[in-house]
């Protein structure tokens, strides 16, 4: 590969099979990235509401955090999450979801990131 893949976050994300499965796309927005995930029936966790699965919410948030770290640090490898805490404020309805993340602290080995969806 001749180019650093992190030059283009969209190409980086497109290379991740699970993100393709979820339908997540990314675009540069201001200082950071904005992730977009259109609603799709295979993302449903509660058919009664209907609402997205909590794991889909967690996946989008984790992806936003990982992408933001990759984007800002320009590393060669995707960062590996150490832990993740998701606070669910309400159910995610059957609509397009957006997520962005902000690095709260960047250490030499560990980065703390806050993501919002």
Return residues touching other proteins (CB under 8 A): 15-22, 41-49, 52-56, 58-60, 62-63, 77-78, 80-88, 90-91, 93
Residue (of 41, 40, 39, 81) closest to 61 by Cα position: 81
CB of 82 or CB of 104, closer to other proteins = 82
Q: How far is the CB of 59 from other proteins (least distance, A)?
A: 2
CB of 16 or CB of 34, closer to other proteins = 16
CB of 59 or CB of 97, closer to other proteins = 59
- In the structure encoding, which two tokens stand for residue 91, read together? 């159910």
Q: How many CA atoms lie within 13 A of 100 on its CB side?
A: 9
Q: From CA 21, how far away is CA 75, in angstroms rounded?
A: 24
Q: How far is the CB of 83 from other proteins (least distance, A)?
A: 4
Q: How far is the CB of 7 from other proteins (least distance, A)?
A: 17
Residue (of 70, 56, 55) closest to 101 by Cα position: 70
């Amino acid at each position: 590969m001749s180019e650093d893949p992190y030059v283009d976050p969209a190409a980086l994300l497109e290379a991740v099979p699970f993100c393709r499965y979820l339908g997540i796309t990314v675009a540069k927005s201001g200082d950071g990235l904005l992730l977009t995930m259109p609603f799709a029936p295979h993302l449903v966790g509660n058919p009664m509401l209907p609402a997205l699965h909590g794991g889909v919410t967690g996946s989008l948030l984790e992806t936003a955090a990982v992408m933001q770290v990759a984007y800002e640090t320009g590393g060669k490898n995707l960062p590996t999450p150490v832990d993740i805490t998701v606070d669910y404020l309400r159910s995610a309805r059957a609509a397009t979801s957006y997520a962005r993340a902000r690095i709260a602290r960047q250490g030499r080995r560990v980065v703390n990131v806050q993501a919002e969806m």
